[in-house]
Amino acid sequence: MTRSWHVAALSLALLLLAGAAATAAEIDAKRLMNADKEADNWLTYHGSYKSWHYSALADINTKNVGSLREAWSHVASRSVRGLQSYPLAADGVLYYSGSYNQVWALDGATGEVLWQYKQKLNEDLVAKQTHSPYNRGIALGYGNVYMGTLDGKLAAIDMKTGKLKWETKLVNSEKLTVGFTGAPLLVKDKVIVGAQGGEWPDRGPIFGVDANTGKQLWRFYTAGGEENNGDARNTWLNDSWRTGGGGGWMAGGYDPDTNTVWWGTANPAPLYDWSGPDWKTAGARPGDNLYTTSVILLDPDTGKLKGYHQEVPHDAWDFDSATGEFIMLERGGKKYVVHPSKSGFVWVYDRNAKVQNVWRLIKNINFVQDIKPNGELVGRRDMTAGKHENLCPFIAGGMSWNMGSYNPKTGLLYKVGNEWCMDLEIVKTTPILEPMAQLNIGANFNITNPKGDKAHGHVSGRDPITGKLTWEVKFPEPPLASLLSTGGDLLFVPDPRGWLRAYDARTGKELWKHNNGQGHNGGIISYRAKGKQYIAVATGWGGLAGDDYPSFFGGVFAQMPKDSGVLKVFALP
Amino acid sequence: MQSGRHTPGTNDNPSTAPASPSATGPASDFDVNQLFASTCGWCHLKGGREAGKGPKLADTQLADGEIIARIRNGKPGQMPAFGSAFNDEQLKAIVGYIRGLKP
């Protein structure tokens, strides 16, 4: 073939591609339902409703990853507490959010800025917030970018122009100090978004909003439920449901087969309880405290509670269930939902939330002796007021909110595990019957090494149903960023010190690494733009888990910036 | 009554809202140990005796007024601004708690 013919063919191909992008179908319910079949795109926080965090693209693979190079980068302004969000890619455009509810749309091939959006925020309010000013992700659909805001709104931003189309106030953040930091989930024509909760006032609501008009359609209170909709206030004696907690601060999942939204909820408040073993009748919040530290099943159209499983009844350790993705799997004709949690255990459900198995991702667990395969907690360590040593895992969790990755080619679930413990002194608090605008934790504590070991992290590849280990790699500090596995048999692990590494997904052999200059605490995706495969990763350090690293681990963390964020994008030369 | 009875609605403007005893309760019922464990101890470890997300408070070089200003104003992205969540007596009690910290 002659050179000129080659060039002509190439430009024709590019024209066709550009044309395809320009006329790409709107992201609607149907496209989202089939997002896992669009290898070129990454349309939702969890990749697709299967929540695999997997890209089928294989241009970059075990054979050529050694020559992976940085293609372009984008600096996210005002990245206070780093860059914790997840990029999305649709039809050649990359969208991502950053601190203070900023959003960028970039040309996926060149990084050129198409538009930038900055939410108007009350800075006095943001200054009062503890879990702020980061944003962890956005949703795409119906020509909009959807984002939950620090001041309690859901905003719809025009995907083409970056202009605000509408915003709906859902939470009175001015009164309660909490807002939204997690990504919304788009289901059909409803945007579903969960508020912060946990050790906070209010009762951790989850909302359903009309994706086109912005009208609030429903609300579900995770702490205590609602009258005529899963009222569970009798699981909080002495009206302690008023203290609140719960919330769903990470994006949940969706099972199209049963039209069910799955959402993980956070801990009750106060976070620690001085009740000891008498927690059913004594302490700050006697009872099971439904629906905190639970997995709840909601009808996306009405918000009606369809079912639930409380993973940790009366959570007294902050091992909440808000963190884990809902991985939809099929094996041997049976359908499963796999849900990792902060406790260090991984729950395996059928599609009706009936527990099928529970397995351990980490070694250092002693807040219970065990959780049986049927979900029953055995040998709970319910603490009374006073000093307690060597509670494992540490409050930041045996797993954090960073996502794992399931690779259908290897059949393995890749997940970060954290090995660390804590000493604490539980303080007896006065029962609080009204919401408070401050943290409600109820203990002093410090992080410790596990007995006879050093605190560390690991990434392993395991069978998602049984937990059977295929390989494991250790890290001197727990990685706090999400993982990506690909059709090229690769697993990408962004680490806290700044290294981005690629491993052989089958063996765990390290094949490539690159130093991004600062720690990772966000998402990673793969997509194709103008015919080329890219890997995009959020870099930037300083989240609330990582903030313990300088004092505990020292080393490179002592000088790592906590107000810097860069999106880095890699490709083959 | 403890800090939890604080009515958040009075807290909207940290710089101008007066410290409201009716909102936060009389200082005599205010248990500063409880307050610290609930609201500060997550970042200032071991009750303020060790550095964590925030610095060790036990040997702070700050003057009382500076401590109070730090609690009121916080530091963006590091420590929340507590604005008028605590009244003057409660702030004094917190300063007293920090000054009294033994290793």
pLDDT single digits (tens) B51-81? 999 999 999 999 999 999 999 999 988 999 9
d(CA A391, CA A449) in angstroms, rounded, equals: 10
Q: What percent of chain B has pLDDT over 70?
A: 72
Mean pLDDT of B79-96: 93
What digits encode the pLDDT tens for the residues A66-82? 999 999 999 999 999 99
Whether cis (ω within 30° of 0) applies to the bond prior to A300 is no
Least confident of A125-129, A259-263, A335-339, A534-538: A125-129
pLDDT of A125 above 90: yes
pLDDT of B18 above 70: no
Mean pLDDT of A324-347: 97
pLDDT of residue A73: 98
Position with higher pLDDT, A433 vs B51: B51
* Best of A429, A541, A552, A553 to mutate (most B CBs within 10 Å, chain B): A429
Please state, rounded to an integer, the average pLDDT across all residues of chain B: 77
Q: What percent of chain B has pLDDT over 90?
A: 59
What residue spans define the domains of chain A?
Answer: 25-571
Q: How confident is the model at residue A197 (pLDDT cuts 50, 70, 90)?
A: confident
**A445 neighbourhood in chain B, CB within 8 Å:** 41, 45-46
What residue spans define the domains of chain B?
Answer: 32-99
Residues 252-271 of A with CB under 8 A from B: 270
Residue B22 touches partner A, C-beta closer than 8 Å: no
Q: Do A129 and B8 touch (CB under 8 A)?
A: no
Q: How confident is the model at residue A252 (pLDDT cuts 50, 70, 90)?
A: very high
Least confident of A487-496, A563-572, B28-37: B28-37
**What is chain A's alpha carbon radius of gyration, rounded to the nearest angstrom?**
23
Report the residue from A132, A270, A427 with minimal CB separation from B33.
Answer: A427
Task: Please tell me the class of the B32-99 domain.
Answer: mainly alpha
Report the DSSP pairing between strands A405-407 and A386-391.
unpaired
Instruction: Measure A533 CA to nearest chain B CA, in Å.
Output: 35
Instruction: Measure B63 CA to nearest chain A CA, in Å.
Output: 23
Q: How confident is the model at residue A24 (pLDDT cuts 50, 70, 90)?
A: confident
pLDDT of residue B29: 67
Residue A444 touches partner B, C-beta closer than 8 Å: yes
What are the strands of the beta sheet with A484-486, ordered from one edge? A54-55, A484-486, A490-494, A499-504, A510-515
Residue A435 touches partner B, C-beta closer than 8 Å: yes
What digits encode the pLDDT tens for the residues A277-313? 999 999 999 999 999 999 999 999 999 999 999 999 9
d(CA A253, CA A325) in angstroms, rounded, equals: 7
Least confident of A11-20, A172-181, A426-435, B42-51: A11-20
Report the DSSP pairing between strands A69-76 and A565-571.
antiparallel
Please state, rounded to an integer, the average pLDDT across all residues of chain A: 94
Q: Please spell the DSSP secondary structure of B1-24, one letter per residue.
A: --GGG--GGGGS-TTTSPP-HHHH
Q: How confident is the model at residue A437 (pLDDT cuts 50, 70, 90)?
A: low
pLDDT of B21 above 80: no
b/e per residue, A44-66, with b = 16+ CB within 10 A?
bbbbbbbbbbbbbbbbbbbeebe
Residue in the structure block whose two tokens are 């709107």:
A26
**Which residues make Cβ contacts (< 8 Å) with residue A34, sequence separation at least 6?**
none
d(CA A107, CA A111) in angstroms, rounded, equals: 5
> By CA distance, what is A553's nearest residue in B?
B52
Instruction: Measure A555 CA to nearest chain B CA, in Å.
Output: 15
Sign of CA dihedral A440, A442, A444, A447: negative
Q: Do B47 and A430 touch (CB under 8 A)?
A: no
Position with higher pLDDT, A234 vs B22: A234
pLDDT of A114 above 70: yes
pLDDT of A14 above 60: no
pLDDT of residue A434: 64
Instruction: Measure A424 CA to nearest chain B CA, in Å.
Output: 8
Position with higher pLDDT, A440 vs A425: A425
Mean pLDDT of A310-320: 97
Evaluate whether B99 touches B92 at the Cβ level (below 8 Å): no
How many CB pairs (< 8 A) connect A and B? 130
Angle between helices B88-99 and B64-73 (to 10 degrees): 120
pLDDT of residue A92: 98
pLDDT of residue A176: 87
Task: Please tell me the class of the A25-571 domain.
Answer: mainly beta
Q: Do A434 and B7 touch (CB under 8 A)?
A: yes
Q: How confident is the model at residue A194 (pLDDT cuts 50, 70, 90)?
A: very high
Position with higher pLDDT, A483 vs B77: A483
